[in-house]
Amino acid sequence: MEPLMTNDLANDFDTIRGQLVDNFVKIQQGINDGMVDQETIDGFQKELDQLLTDSEIRDANVQAIVNILTKYDVPIAIVDGKVVDTTKEGE
């Protein structure tokens, strides 16, 4: 079975989503091929839980940074999961 993406996850949501979908496809193929036992599935679940926790921590950290910078009138915000400059053209 091909190795799963674990520590090499990208920083943007769309890429992470693709990597996680790829992991689920590999897991499903392993299950269908009868090559995955319960211990392996439990290991995959633990890795997935850690990835989700890491993602939540990263999102919270980015939000905290944006909040701090906003207090100092830095024109940024999080829009659709991305940090964006909120200044208008010509300002």
List per-residue pLDDT tens for the chain, 91 residues long: 566 666 666 666 677 777 788 888 888 887 777 766 778 788 888 988 888 888 889 888 888 988 888 888 888 888 777 788 888 765 5
Please give the Cα distance from 8 to 71 (Å, whole number). 33
The pTM score is 0.50
- Taking the CA atoms of 25, 79, 90 and 71 in sequence, report the sign of the dihedral they define: negative
